[in-house]
């Protein structure tokens, strides 16, 4: 994939994900604000209803008290009668109807001792409505038909209350608040109103008089502006009051949050799934790109390694066809050895690739037997001895282990040691200097192969056992190989239930450590 296209795709996916997260965050924040406003609106309406209920209760109490008092009195101080008379005629039924409507207003002056105020009396108006209907039919054959009369009486109590309320509101405010309202009444009305509107959050309340708390309040009330609502109590005729009912909700935030918690959690879960899927896709993209680059390096290296021996073989064959060489046994033997060595080199490379392929498919049969690890190490050292000597270096063994018997496959375990030794030789810029140590730790034998080569960084150490991985050192071909040797080592040791790890520091060499189980 083109690098610019790859970066553009990553940026587009990242921006899309950030957009989704932003939208989800905005939705949750907006939902919280909406629920908070809805909670506040519901509470305010509830408080208005509570205030109205309490005020109407007080008015009703005194109205019915005075109404009963009026019934026990004699004549009113003043009587006013308003009458309305009108008639209709129904020709079909030959019937006339006459309607009388009389409104009787009786004014009483009553003592205000019930309210315990300084005012001497209060005016109370009792109003009665009298309705009468008289039906008269026309005479038939000179015979008069008697009239029918219907009369109804009713008390206009609502109107009376309105008249009483105008005087009562300004009088009742002279009483102390604790005589006008009780804690139980406030609490009961608040619970009913809030429960009816679906609010179950605990609350605290208090009645304030001109910004000062009164005795009418709950035990744990605290005036918190963010969680407290208020409404006027006992509004007088001039729409003024000295009392405010404050109600606080300590768990308001929790109540509002709980109302959106279900959808918010689902939203966060789905967003989390998207983030995980995005992370996985991004990881796969980087991994695929890395594999693509590694494979390109592998092909370049493999092509380079095959190109040289093929060219060498072609040159050797051309030389063998030269009549001068045919008669020279020394040159003939030299070119034949060159062809054999280069052929063996290509065969080893192909065998290495095939070996890894079989290991991945679990097709490689590894029969194991009792072997001495020290013998395997000696055999492996002999394989690389000539190369090391040719470069003026050495491979020294330091066998500190008293026991070295392991259950292993001779051929493959030898290849493991050879590969690690070969790795140390290739990555030594000067003469390779390699030391091999063994020691026993409990029921295991530890093999350490230490070189004084180029070393590696921590980042490289984490990847050297991956297939096709090779550390870049500027020129892709400066160290021959194609990243299969250590991958093969790791796979073989896994099959032997062994462990391998590396300790290294850049420019200070590397130490490969293998831990195998001993057998008795």
Question: Cα-Cα-Cα-Cα dihedral of 13, 14, 19, 25, to 10°?
Answer: 130
Least confident of 42-46, 173-177, 356-360, 450-454: 356-360
Q: Tell me the Cα Rg of the chain.
A: 53
Question: Cα-Cα-Cα-Cα dihedral of 37, 40, 44, 49, to 10°?
Answer: 100
Q: Is pLDDT at 267 greater than 70 in this prediction?
A: yes
Least confident of 131-145, 158-172, 284-298, 323-337: 131-145
Tell me what the mean pLDDT of segment 94-108 comes to.
62
Strand order in the sheet with 148-155: 78-90, 95-111, 121-137, 148-155
Q: Is pLDDT at 389 greater than 70 in this prediction?
A: yes
What would the two tokens of residue 224 be?
A: 């918190």
pLDDT attached to residue 146? 54
Which residues partner with 451 through β-bridges? 434
pLDDT attached to residue 86? 61
Could you give the CA distance from residue 95 to residue 287 in angstroms, rounded to a whole number? 105
pLDDT attached to residue 196? 87
pLDDT attached to residue 400? 95
pLDDT attached to residue 377? 94
pLDDT attached to residue 337? 79
Q: Is pLDDT at 37 greater than 60 in this prediction?
A: yes
Q: Specify the long-range contacts of residues 24-30, CB closer than 8 Å, at least 24 apart.
A: 24/267, 24/268, 24/271, 27/267, 28/260, 28/264, 28/267
Could you give the CA distance from residue 75 to residue 478 in angstroms, rounded to a whole number? 128
Is the dihedral angle over the CA atoms 261, 264, 266, 272 positive or is it negative? negative
Q: Is pLDDT at 147 greater than 60 in this prediction?
A: no
Range from 44-48, 223-227, 277-281, 287-291 that averages highest in pLDDT:
44-48
What would the two tokens of residue 144 be?
A: 């008069």
205 closest CA partner among 297, 79, 193: 193
Q: Is pLDDT at 246 greater than 70 in this prediction?
A: yes
246 closest CA partner among 208, 218, 281: 208
State the pLDDT confidence band at 435, using cuts at 50, 70 and 90: very high
Q: How far is CA 135 from CA 85, 87, 90, 251, in A?
A: 14, 10, 10, 69
Comparing 105 with 446, the larger pLDDT belongs to: 446
Comparing 337 with 138, the larger pLDDT belongs to: 337
State the pLDDT confidence band at 38, using cuts at 50, 70 and 90: confident
pLDDT attached to residue 482? 45
Q: Is pLDDT at 319 greater than 60 in this prediction?
A: yes
User: What are the residues whose beta carbons fall under 8 Å from the beta carbon of 177, sequence distance 6 or more?
Assistant: 207, 209, 214, 215, 216, 243
Tell me what the mean pLDDT of segment 169-184 comes to.
75
pLDDT attached to residue 261? 80
Q: Is pLDDT at 63 greater than 90 in this prediction?
A: no
Q: What is the pLDDT of residues 117-145, one digit of tens each?
A: 555 555 656 666 566 666 666 554 444 44
Q: Is pLDDT at 293 greater than 60 in this prediction?
A: yes
State the pLDDT confidence band at 476, using cuts at 50, 70 and 90: very low
pLDDT attached to residue 265? 84
pLDDT attached to residue 169? 63
pLDDT attached to residue 54? 86
pLDDT attached to residue 258? 80
Tell me what the mean pLDDT of segment 420-447 comes to.
92
Instruction: Give percent of the chain with pLDDT exceeding 70.
Output: 66
Q: How far is CA 279 from CA 10, 276, 293, 296, in A?
A: 11, 5, 21, 25
pLDDT attached to residue 436? 96
Q: Is pLDDT at 472 greater than 70 in this prediction?
A: no
pLDDT attached to residue 478? 46
With a threshold of 0.75, does the pTM exceed it? no
pLDDT attached to residue 33? 87
Tell me what the mean pLDDT of segment 101-107 comes to.
59
pLDDT attached to residue 519? 92
Q: Is pLDDT at 287 greater than 60 in this prediction?
A: yes
Tell me what the mean pLDDT of segment 422-435 comes to.
89
pLDDT attached to residue 144? 47
User: What are the residues whose beta carbons fall under 8 Å from the beta carbon of 96, sequence distance 6 or more?
Assistant: 87, 88, 89, 90, 135, 136, 137, 138
Tell me what the mean pLDDT of segment 252-275 comes to.
82
pLDDT attached to residue 359? 60
Range from 126-135, 211-220, 307-316 that averages highest in pLDDT:
211-220
Tell me what the mean pLDDT of segment 395-422 comes to.
90
pLDDT attached to residue 17? 81
Tell me what the mean pLDDT of segment 324-339 comes to.
77
Least confident of 163-177, 217-231, 304-318, 365-379: 163-177
Q: Is pLDDT at 505 greater than 70 in this prediction?
A: yes
Comparing 305 with 178, the larger pLDDT belongs to: 178
Average pLDDT, the chain: 77
Tell me what the mean pLDDT of segment 192-206 comes to.
87
Q: How many Å from the N-terminal Cα to the C-terminal Cα in the chain?
A: 55
Q: How far is CA 284 from CA 123, 166, 186, 274, 483, in A?
A: 91, 81, 65, 15, 21
């Amino acid at each position: 994939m083109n690098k610019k296209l790859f970066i553009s795709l990553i940026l587009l996916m990242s921006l899309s994900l950030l957009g989704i997260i932003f939208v989800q965050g905005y939705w949750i924040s907006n939902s919280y604000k909406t629920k908070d406003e809805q909670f506040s609106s519901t509470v305010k309406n509830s408080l208005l209803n509570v205030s109205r209920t309490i005020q109407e209760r007080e008015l009703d109490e005194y109205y019915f008290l005075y109404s009963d008092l009026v019934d026990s009195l004699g004549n009113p101080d003043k009587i006013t009668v308003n009458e309305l008379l009108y008639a209709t005629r129904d020709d079909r039924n030959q019937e006339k109807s006459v309607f009388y409507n009389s409104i009787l207003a009786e004014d009483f002056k009553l003592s205000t001792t019930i309210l315990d105020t300084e005012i001497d009396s209060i005016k109370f108006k009792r109003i009665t409505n009298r309705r009468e209907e008289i039906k008269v039919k026309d005479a038939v054959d000179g015979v008069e038909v008697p009239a029918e009369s219907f009369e109804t009486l009713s008390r206009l109590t609502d109107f009376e209350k309105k008249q009483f309320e105008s005087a009562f509101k300004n009088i009742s405010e002279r009483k102390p608040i604790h005589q006008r309202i009780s804690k139980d009444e406030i609490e009961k009305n608040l619970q009913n109103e809030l429960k009816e509107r679906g609010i179950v959050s605990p609350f605290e309340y208090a009645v304030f008089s001109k910004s000062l708390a009164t005795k009418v309040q709950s035990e744990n009330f605290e005036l918190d502006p963010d969680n407290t609502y208020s409404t006027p109590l006992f509004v007088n005729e001039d729409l003024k009051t000295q009392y405010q009912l404050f109600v606080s909700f300590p768990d308001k935030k929790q109540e509002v949050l709980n109302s959106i918690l279900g959808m918010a959690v689902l939203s966060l879960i789905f967003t989390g799934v998207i983030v995980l899927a995005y992370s996985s896709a991004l990881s796969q993209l980087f991994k695929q790109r890395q594999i693509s680059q590694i494979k390109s390096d592998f092909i370049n290296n493999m092509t380079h390694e095959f190109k040289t021996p093929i060219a060498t073989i072609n040159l050797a064959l051309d030389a063998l066809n030269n009549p001068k060489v045919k008669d020279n046994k020394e040159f003939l033997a030299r070119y034949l050895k060159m062809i054999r060595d280069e052929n063996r080199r290509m065969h080893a490379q192909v065998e290495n690739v095939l070996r890894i392929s079989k290991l991945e498919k679990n097709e490689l049969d590894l029969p194991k037997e009792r072997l001495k690890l020290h013998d395997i190490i000696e055999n492996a050292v002999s394989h690389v001895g000539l190369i090391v000597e040719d470069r003026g270096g050495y491979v020294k063994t330091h066998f500190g282990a008293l026991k070295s018997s392991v259950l292993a496959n001779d051929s493959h375990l030898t290849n493991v040691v050879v590969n690690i030794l070969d790795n140390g030789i290739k990555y030594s810029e000067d003469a390779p200097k390699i030391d091999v140590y063994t020691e026993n730790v409990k029921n295991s034998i530890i093999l350490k192969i230490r070189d004084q080569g180029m070393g590696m960084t921590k980042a490289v150490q984490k990847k050297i056992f991956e297939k096709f991985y090779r550390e870049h050192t500027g020129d892709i071909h400066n160290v021959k190989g194609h990243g299969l040797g250590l991958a093969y080592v790791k796979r073989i040791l896994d099959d032997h239930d062994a462990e391998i790890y590396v300790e290294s520091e850049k420019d200070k060499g590397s130490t490969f450590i293998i831990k195998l189980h001993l057998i008795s």
